Amino acid sequence: MAVAAPRKSNLKPSYWSMVTQPLQGSFWEELQRPGESQSAQDCDVLELETPFSAVVQRGGRHASTGPETQKMHLVDFRRANNTEIMLTKVKMTLPDMMAAALAMDESILDADQVEYLIKLCPTKEEMELLKFFLELMKAPRVESKLRVFLFKIQFNTQLTEFKKSLNTVDSACEEIRTSSKLKEIFNTILYLGHMLNYGTARGAAIDFKLDTLLKLTDTRASNSKMTLMHYLCKVLAAKSPTLLDFHMDLVSLESATKIQLKSLAEEMQAIIKGLEKVKQELTASADDGPVSEVFHKKLSVFIGFAESEVRFVKYLYSVVGRNADALALYFGEDPALSQTLWNFVRLFRKELESKEYKEEGYNMADGKEVKSEDVESGYGLVYKGQLYKSGKSIPVAIKRLNEQFGQRLKEFLTEVHLLSWQKHPNLISIVGYCEIDKEKILVYEYVQRGSLDKYLRRNNTTNYSLTWRQRLNICVGAARGLEHLHYHVGEHLSIIHRDIKSANILLDQNWVAKVSDFGMSKLTFDGLYRSAIVSLACGTMNYIEPEYMLTGILKEKSDVYSFGMVLFEVLCGRLCTIREDDGILLSGPLAKEFYERRRLDEMVDPSLKEHLNSDSMNKFSAIAYRCLHDDRRHRPTMDLVVKELEDLLKSEK
């Protein structure tokens, strides 16, 4: 008896990961039992083929699955075939045929042959298409060049998104490892586990698998009215209420769960391989002649920029990879632990918001019975206000912070503590502060002209271009403020700012520079401070010293590196956080490369070129370059930077 061949499916595959042997006692194993599978609802296969057909419908927008590109014909296939037949019959080359036609030689061409020629003449549209192809053919390896151009267009966005993902993962690793609140909560859970399992706080376990955290909501009391998660929240609210907002220590965790380390590795390789192909085309186009002269020149500039960017990204990728591996070893589990931790945070927060928990009257702030209130809050918003003192109205800047959005108590107290006892003309002054519940207010002197970064962009919105002398004055002032923090705050004491950037250098009515934003600063003894692994919370990307990112060891020279980036921003009229219209993003590696190749004049702010002499530019850029030295030992100290900038300013007179 013949067996009918199985009907070939026209449906799309679902691409699931199949398990051939279901785990005993699992949901899937139960489905295999006799009688169970019959409970599944029947599905009409023909009905499924309409929305889930494997055949791509005409007019659809599905991307091509293979490298083959669709061929474009100058004339339709039938006409092309007829042309070939006619040329074969006539046994005459096309140039000879056209010469006979133009000579109107009836002895060579008859009426039928002329009619054939008329039919084969290209239409106007075909002529335009032919011209298009001929124009494309003028450039050797035109497809390769277009792919290189596409890589250049997408390079900026691709690298920005990639660095953003790396920073997110790195920040999450840093936050998890350094959160003291998370450690205390884990210790409390371990304590509860010992009590439940052994009747004593000293059980056999020294740790637990992280997925245990997700089981706290499943463990219920005998009366089924309370889960272990609920009990944990209750205990913390009563005894350690400050731990209830531990999620504020893990602000990057949720975003990190959406990033796969494997995908980052693949993306890194794609960037490297893409740049290699670009370099290959650069080599090939060198022999193209005049047709590729402009292309070759611009591609050479792009590669110089792209190579420095990729080197930095490779370095950053290696640092993030090591930190992720270290975190996995730290917990002794798979790097995917971030997803488990985030689920725990979500369940914990859900329990705090539950009706049952709120009915018990616990408030997250102090564990006392209070009525909950909604507080409208902002994040780092700055307002202009008036302060009345001794009958006079004084303009002030009012900064409103809120723990809910990541501005935590630590940063608030740091700024209050450091600014309240530091007085210097190049440091922002604090007028006062207040703290009410979660609301925190800092009141500063009002600085009329705002931050330096607004005046440095080539397309700045201030409609004001700083002169070279103004820029030198601003750099000298900012350097003096930083020198004061490093050497003059007290005996054996030093303040490391940790977030020096042009956005944190404010300008008053007379263009006097004032260093601001001390929320991340560190008060150190004898100028040495050893920090944990760096993250976004410890500075701003492209300003952060690479060694600090790699080792976590913070020194005054870390600020010197950041200040070197500010100096290059001042000279080039570019910010290292914003890509300009020409596609170039200023960075430490790029600035050093242009300096070393003696091409820095190509990067100088065009508005300065008429007033900036080469001697002044060379001296200024030399100071900035030394500030960015890879080896901290070879960077100048801030007192030396101040002296050299002051000497340069005097020479300008």
DSSP H or E segment with residue 463: none
> Is residue 500 a contact partner of residue 515, using CB atoms and an 8 Å limit?
yes
Q: Say which residue the tokens 């723990």 belong to.
A: 403
What pLDDT shows up at residue 341? 80
Q: How far is CA 361 from CA 100, 238, 242, 461, in A?
A: 104, 11, 16, 51
Task: Classify residue 597 by its DSSP letter.
Answer: T
Pairing label, strands 553-555, 528-530: antiparallel
Amino acid found at 24:
Q
383: helix, coil or strand?
A: strand
User: For residue range 101-120, what is the model confidence (pLDDT) as tens digits?
Assistant: 888 888 888 888 888 778 77
What are the chain's domains?
77-137 (no CATH), 152-345 (1.20.58.2220), 381-445 (3.30.200.20), 452-652 (1.10.510.10)
What does the DSSP 8-state code read for residue 53? B
pLDDT at position 325 is: 82
Assigned token pair, 292: 């590729």
DSSP notation for 76-115: -HHHHHHHHHHHHHHT--HHHHHHHHHTT-TTT--HHHHH
Q: Which tens digit of pLDDT belongs to each residue from 220-248?
A: 766 666 777 777 887 787 777 778 878 77
| Order of strands, sheet of 392-402, starting from the edge strand that comes earlier in the sequence | 381-389, 392-402, 439-445, 430-436
Concatenated DSSP letters of 368-382: SB---------SSEE
C-alpha distances in Å from residue 247, one per residue of 253, 364, 555: 9, 13, 29
pLDDT at 649: 92
The sign of the torsion formed by the CA atoms of 594, 596, 598, 601 equals positive
pLDDT at site 561: 96
- Angle at the Cα of 544 (from 644 to 530), degrees rounded to 5? 95
Which residues, 6 or more positions from 402, have their beta carbon under 8 angstroms from its beta carbon? Answer: 377, 378, 379, 438, 439, 440
pLDDT at 618: 93
CA distances from 77 to 72, 115, 123 (A): 11, 19, 15
Alpha-carbon distance of 92 to 109, in angstroms, equals 10
**Helix 614-627 with 638-652: angle, nearest 10 deg:** 170
Q: Is the pTM of this model over 0.75?
A: no
- Counting as low any pLDDT under 50, the low residues of the chain are 1-32, 35-54, 56-67, 74, 199-207, 361-379, 404-407, 527-537
- Contact yes or no for 162/267 (Cβ under 8 A): yes
Q: Could you write out the three-class secondary structure of 319-369?
A: HHHHHHHHHHHHHCCCCCHHHHHHHHHHHHHHHHCCHHHHHCCECCCCCCE
Which pLDDT value is given to residue 202? 46
CA angle 435, 441, 447 (to 5 degrees): 155
Instruction: Collapse the DSSP code of 384 into the 3-class scheme (helix H, G, I; strand E, B; otherwise coil) and give the result.
Output: strand
